[in-house]
Structure 1
Amino acid sequence: MKLSEEIFLFYLKTSQSLEMINRKLGIRDQLFYYIRQIFPMSGLYVIGSSLNGFGTNNADMDLCLMLTSVELDQRTDAIPILRAVKDVLENLNCVTDQCLIETAKVPILRIMFKSEDGGNMQLDMNVNNSVGVRNTHLLYYYSNFDWRFRPLVAIVKEWARRRAINDASRSSFTSYSLVLMLIHYLQYGVEPPILPSLQQCYKSHFDDSIDVRNLRMTDPLENEPNETFWETKNSSSLCDLLLGFLEYYSYRFNYESSAISIRMGRTMSRVEVMACQELPLQWSCIWIEEPFTRMNTAHSVYNTMIFELIKQTFMGSFETLNTSLNLNAFLTEPPLHLLARPTSIGLNDAITQEITESDQPNE
C-alpha cells in the first residue's frame, strides 16, 4: 500500500544514521576523559532517543553521569557535582558554552559542544537519574522487537510535533509519553498483539534491582525456564497500524477510568494505580505509568481544555487519514490554535520532564 511505503520512507529519511550515533558516542568518550579525572569511579551514559532506537540526525544528546548505585538528593547533591563538571570542562576548546539549570527538579548541565568538523550539538547532562538509563535500555529492546515499531514512532512523533501536542511546556505530551502510548496500543489495542510486555516476558533481564551500570544492550533476550517464546501473528501494515493507533485513542481508550501500563501489557484501573502509589494519586487528564518508577509520565497534561483539544486532534487526524490515505495531508493539518498558547508550566519544568521521562529522556 502506498501509505505504508510513504511511512517507511519517511522513517528511513529521518532516522539517526550510524555515523551520527558514532559521533555522539565519540563526544561522550571525549567528555568522559576529562570527567573521570575528578570522578574516577563514575560512568557516563547516553540516554534517550540518541540510543534507544528512535533518534534522528537533528536530535541533541542527553547524558547521565552515574557516580553510585545509591539514590542522590537532586537538590543537595547533584548541583555541586555538576558545578565540578562545569569547571573541568570550562577551558576545553570543544565546549563553547555551558549553563547549569539548578531550578529544575532534576538539575542539568547544558553543554554546547563544537566538534572538529565545525558541527554544533547541545548536550544535557544529569547526575544519577538512573531511571533514564533503565528506560533507554528497555525502549531499545522494544525498538528491535518488531520492524514496524520504529517507523510508527517516527511518524507519530512528527505528527505530534506538527500538531503541537508534543510539548510538555504547553500542557501536552513528552516524546517519551507518546512512545509509551504507541507501545501500549501494540500490546493491547490490536488483536492479536504485536508487542508483549518485555518486563513480564523477560523478568530477569529488566529487573529494576539490577545496577544500571551492569545493563548491556548487546545481551540477547532469553526466556526464563517455563516461559513461552513470544511470536506475533499480526501481519497488519504500517497504514493499518497508524490508523488503528489514532482510532484507539480517539474512540476506544477510556481516559477517565483506565491507565496505560506497558509494564503490565494492559490497561490498569484507578484502584490498581492507587495501590502502586506511596503518595496521594494525582490522576491528571491521562495516566501513563512510567515502567520503573510507576509515576505518571503524562503529569504535564493537566489542562482540561487543552486535553479536549488533544483528543479532537486525534479524532480529526484519524478522519483525515482514514478518508484520504494521504500522508502529506495528515502531516500538514494546522494545529488547533489553543495548543500554541503557553500555560503556567515553566521552561525548567519542561526540561525536567524531558530529562526524567525521556524519549529523551529526551528529545
Structure 2
Amino acid sequence: MFPNSILGRPPFTPNHQQHNNFFALSPSLYSHQQLIDAQFSFHNADLSRAVSLQQLTYGNVSPVQTSTSPLFRGRKRLSDEKNLPLDGKRQRFHSPHQEPTVVNHIVPLSDERRYSISPLFHTHYVPDIVRCVPPFREISILEPREITLPEAKDKLSQQILELFEACQQQVSDLKKKELCRTELQREIQLLFPQSRLFLVGSSLNGFGTRSSDGDLCLVVKEEPVNQKTEARHILTLVHKHFCTRLSSYIERPQLIRAKVPIVKFRDKVSCVEFDLNVNNIVGIRNTFLLRTYAYLENRVRPLVLVIKKWASHHDINDASRGTLSSYSLVLMVLHYLQTLPEPILPSIQKIYPESFSPSIQLHLVHQAPCNVPPYLSKNDSNLGDLLLGFLKYYATEFDWNSQMISVREAKAIPRPDGIEWRNKYICVEEPFDGTNTARAVHEKQKFDMIKDQFLKSWHRLKNRKDLNSILPLRAAILKR
C-alpha cells in the first residue's frame, strides 16, 4: 500500500497478499472506474468524493530533462504512444529497461540515473545527505480488523457518536491527500533525489476530520537539520519549484519563515490545504504512536473528536493564537484515559519499548502499530460520562502549577526544573523528545480563558446532559 501511511488498524490481519502498482502507472488523476479497478482494497470507500476535480491532473507541466539518462523521457506520453492499446501503454512502465516508480521510497539512484536539477535551481549550497533514509522494502497490503463503535444508551453518548460519524475523516479524504503526497514526492525528488515525503499529523494518526488540513514532512537525512539555515534553504527551493513547475495544480504557495519554517499551499485537485516542513522527524514518530492509541480502544477516537470540536468552538484550539494545539489536546485526552481509577488506556511506550523507541529508523516506524493488540479495559464508562469526567479532571483535579501531563509515563509527573518548563502555564510532555507541546500558552490571560472554559462547560454539561449546551451540534457537523 503506502509505505509511510499504513491504513491498517492494530492488530493487522494479512487477509490480502497483493502488491500495489497503481501509482507506478501514470501521474494523471484517475477516473472513478480506474480508482475502483486499482489495487486499493479499501472497505466501503466513498469513491464519489475521491476525485473532486476530474479535469485537473497532476504533473501536467514541462518535464525536467535529465543530463545522462537517455531512457528518461519526461512525464508526458510521447505522441507515438497515444494510439497504443492499454496493455501496450502499461508495458513501457514495466519493461526491463526502466524501473517503475516506487511510491514513497527514498530512492538512492545510481549516478547515471540521477535527475539533474533545472538551471533555475542552481545554487552553491547543497544539503549534506549524511544518513539518508534507507530504501523501504515492499510489503503486502495489510487489511485492518474493523473496530466496532461503542454502544450509546444515553442521549449524550448518542450525540457524541453522531458527531463522530458525521465528521470523522473518510477513506476517500485520506486517499486524496495520499495521491497529492505521492505526486509531490516525485517532483521534489527531482531537486533532492534521496529525499522522502511523509504524510503526518491528524490526517494519518486516526484523529482527523473531514476538514483536516494535510501535514507533510520532507526528510532529507535522518539527522537534525538546522531550521534557520538548512531547512529554510531547502524550502526556498521547494517553494520556487511549486511557483514555477507546479503552478498548474499547486496554488497560493507561501514560505513561512518561522522558528520551524514551512511552505503552506493548496492542492487544486484535492482542494486540501497543506503545510510542509523539513525533517520534523519527531512528528513522524508521534503520528504512529497516536495512531496506535486511536485504535487501541473504541471510545478513544469519538472522545477526541468531540473534545477537539468543543475546544475549537470555544477558541482554545489554536497554538498560533496562544492556546492549545490539537496535538496537545489529544495528549490531554490520552492522559486522562490513562489516569482513571480503572484506566482505559495504558502507556504503550512502557509495554512495547522496542516498538516505540526514538532510535528506530524511520523506514521501520510504520510497523510499530502491528505489534500492539487491542487493550481490554475493565472500565465500561460510556462516552457521555467520559466527556464529563475529562472536563471535570482539568477543571478541578489536575494541578496546573506543579504537574506535567505525561502520556509516556501514563500519569501526572512533577514539572522538570529546566528553562523550557519554568514559569510555563501548561506543561504537556512530547512523548519522544520530552519538549513542552503546550509552550504556545505563554500568556496568563489565555491560560485563564482555557481553565474557565473547562469549568463552565463541565457545569453546563453536568446540569443539562445535552451536548448542545457546550457545542452546537448542527454548526459543528456543517463544519465537518
Please indicate the TM-score interval, normalised by the length of the shorter structure: 0.7 to 0.9
Runs of 4+ in structure 1 over 4 Å off: none
Match of 1:38 in 2: 191
Q: CA RMSD in A?
A: 1.7
When normalised by structure 1's length, the TM-score is 0.84
Question: Cα offset for 1:86?
Answer: 2.2
- Whole-Å Cα distance in 2 between the matches of residues 38 and 280 of structure 1? 36
For 1:267, what is the secondary structure of its paired residue? strand
Contact kept in structure 1, 2:297 and 2:375, CA below 8 Å: no
1:112 to 251, 266, 283: 266
Match of 2:284 in 1: 133
Structure 1 stretch displaced more, 214-223 or 6-15: 214-223
**Which of the pair has the greater relative contact order for Cα pairs under 8 Å at 6+ separation?**
1
| Gap change, CA 1:289 and 1:240, over 3 Å in 2 | same
Match of 1:353 in 2: none
- Whole-Å Cα distance in 2 between the matches of residues 320 and 280 of structure 1? 35
The reply on whether 1:263 has 2:413 as its aligned counterpart is: no
- Whole-Å Cα distance in 1 between the matches of residues 170 and 463 of structure 2? 34
Match of 1:172 in 2: 323
Contact kept in structure 1, 2:297 and 2:376, CA below 8 Å: no
Superposition map of 1:128-207 within 5 A: 128-188=279-339, 190-207=340-357
Q: Given residue 236 of structure 1, which amino acid in structure 2 is its aligned partner?
A: S
- Whole-Å Cα distance in 1 between the matches of residues 434 and 421 of structure 2? 11
The reply on whether 1:250 has 2:395 as its aligned counterpart is: yes
Superposition map of 1:3-42 within 5 A: 3-42=156-195
Gaps of 5+ in 2: 1-153, 474-480
| Gap change, CA 1:99 and 1:251, over 3 Å in 2 | same
Question: Cα offset for 1:143?
Answer: 0.4
For 1:65, what is the secondary structure of its paired residue? strand
For 1:37, what is the secondary structure of its paired residue? helix
Q: Given residue 187 of structure 1, which amino acid in structure 2 is its aligned partner?
A: Q
Match of 1:321 in 2: 461
Contact kept in structure 1, 2:292 and 2:369, CA below 8 Å: no
For 1:22, what is the secondary structure of its paired residue? helix
Q: Given residue 239 of structure 2, which amino acid in structure 1 is its aligned partner?
A: K
Structure with greater helix share of residues = 1
Match of 2:444 in 1: 304
Match of 1:344 in 2: none
Q: How many corresponding residue pairs?
A: 318
Match of 1:339 in 2: none
The reply on whether 1:66 has 2:219 as its aligned counterpart is: yes
| Gap change, CA 1:159 and 1:253, over 3 Å in 2 | same
- Whole-Å Cα distance in 1 between the matches of residues 236 and 299 of structure 2? 43
The reply on whether 1:83 has 2:83 as its aligned counterpart is: no
- Whole-Å Cα distance in 2 between the matches of residues 198 and 232 of structure 1? 14
Question: Cα offset for 1:280?
Answer: 5.8
Q: Which has the larger radius of gyration?
A: 2
Match of 1:95 in 2: 250
For 1:240, what is the secondary structure of its paired residue? helix
| Gap change, CA 1:9 and 1:69, over 3 Å in 2 | same
- Whole-Å Cα distance in 2 between the matches of residues 222 and 280 of structure 1? 33
- Whole-Å Cα distance in 2 between the matches of residues 8 and 175 of structure 1? 20
- Whole-Å Cα distance in 1 between the matches of residues 321 and 173 of structure 2? 30
- Whole-Å Cα distance in 2 between the matches of residues 76 and 303 of structure 1? 29
- Whole-Å Cα distance in 2 between the matches of residues 38 and 306 of structure 1? 42
- Whole-Å Cα distance in 1 between the matches of residues 420 and 202 of structure 2? 31
For 2:371, what is the secondary structure of its paired residue? coil
For 1:74, what is the secondary structure of its paired residue? coil
When normalised by structure 2's length, the TM-score is 0.64
| Gap change, CA 1:282 and 1:16, over 3 Å in 2 | same
- Whole-Å Cα distance in 2 between the matches of residues 222 and 192 of structure 1? 20
Contact kept in structure 2, 1:43 and 1:213, CA below 8 Å: no
Contact kept in structure 2, 1:140 and 1:217, CA below 8 Å: no
Question: Cα offset for 1:77?
Answer: 0.3
- Whole-Å Cα distance in 1 between the matches of residues 456 and 369 of structure 2? 42
The reply on whether 1:213 has 2:213 as its aligned counterpart is: no
Gaps of 5+ in 1: 224-228, 334-363
- Whole-Å Cα distance in 2 between the matches of residues 142 and 291 of structure 1? 13
- Whole-Å Cα distance in 2 between the matches of residues 218 and 24 of structure 1? 22
- What percent identity do the matched residue pairs reach? 40
- Whole-Å Cα distance in 1 between the matches of residues 369 and 405 of structure 2? 28
